[in-house]
Amino acid sequence: MAQGQKSKGVIAILTGGGDVPGLNPAIRAVTIRALREGYQVVGIRRGWAGMIEIVRDKEADNSNCYEWLTEERVSKSFRTGGTFLHTSRTNPSKVAKDKVPQQYRSKYQKEVNDLTPEVIKNLDFLGVDYLIPIGGDDTLSYGARLYQEGEKVIAIPKTMDNDVPGTDYCIGFSTCITRTIAMTDILRTSAGSHERILVMEVFGRYAGFTAMLPTMAGVANRCVIPEHQFDVELLTQLLVEDRRLNSSHYSSVMISEGATFKGMDKMVFSGSEVDAYGHAKLGGIGDLVAQKIKELSPKFNNGKPVNIINQKLGYLVRGGEPDAIDSIVPMAFGNLALDLILKGVHGRLVVLKNGRYDNMPLDVVTSQKKLVNVQKFYNTERLRPFYKSFEMLPLFIMTSD
């Protein structure tokens, strides 16, 4: 905003949930466009946590909760991964008693508390006219709640799992796939050298897109996904066969963290603690499957066990700088959000749909789930993607329908 120019209003922006490459470019796009259009921009720190911890006193030090953004500030960080505003998995509608900020403890004393009234007051304290949350379905579902409460909200979808409903693409997915392919290429040299079966666990709580796309691209022989409970003996048989047919004598499988095999009654969790959205931390299905494959492999390998290389890719695929797509799409999403603001439109989710930028009603994030269409894209007998034609399919093949 030019010096001396009267502000058109205040736009707040925050990032919630897991970090992904592309968040900083989105923050930059919103900020630069907004400032040049005559708005002020306030960055809320640590996602929704910043919104519940603000002390409503002009003299208070709220630097841990928000900062006023400038072109210089956002231009220094947009090439980097993660989010310089930081993030959290705070859900203001479900705040545990011991997590309630000190200034509200006399008022909120239940075991679980809804601090939405304080969030609304804090937005008013900052003079916020429009709020732009960037996140996955958890972060954006609370954005939808604020919209229902009368706040002007425009949401930007972000998640490496690519599972926000309504959009074919979420910020972070392309870099995740790029990293996964690159790391698989590194790991296969060891798998080939030792003639082993390579087991790789990747993110994907409910949706298997992050396992499907690399496998479809040819970096793994098989993949197992949350949408289909698989037979671990069948998987072992297929991987031993793949290894035998490979001149380098190795094979590989991608395993979504939320996948389960027959006989399991729930996903594998790395601990009992749950976040504010009720999600326990996943992790360990790769270890369990690797152990089962080694135990079962003699049955399909002339009585001899096949050794395993077992690697959880985890945070390695969500760190680092964004790739080209996760630099371009966040820029476009940020500008789409400003286009809507300039038109006085709110309650929308900016999306990529059928290869075109667009927007949809915000409540789409709570009205449905975005999952792999097993019947259309996954061969349950061969445990890998299948497809009949690529004609007229979007860039990443599987859409939000």
Its sign, for the CA torsion 90, 91, 92, 94, is negative
Q: What six digits make up the tokens of 20?
A: 């992904």
161 counts as catalytic: yes
Burial of 358 (0-12, 13-18, 19+ CB in 10 A): middle
| Residue 360: strand, helix, or coil | strand
Instruction: Output the CA torsion sign for 162, 168, 169, 170.
Output: negative
Helix (H, G, I), strand (E, B) or coil at 303: coil
> Given 129, 137, 138, 161, which residue is catalytic?
161
- The values of phi and psi at residue 160, to 5°, are -65, -20
**Amino acid letter, 32:** I
Contacts (Cβ under 8 Å, ≥6 apart) of 131: 11, 12, 13, 14, 123, 143, 146, 151, 152, 153, 154
Cα–Cα distance, 362 to 152 (Å, whole number): 11
Q: What is the CA radius of gyration of the chain?
A: 23
Q: Is 3 exposed, middle or buried (0-12, 13-18, 19+ CB in 10 A)?
A: exposed
Distance CA 26, CA 32 (A): 10
Side-chain half-sphere CA neighbours of 29 within 13 A: 23
Pairing of strands 269-274, 280-282: antiparallel
Catalytically active residues are: 161
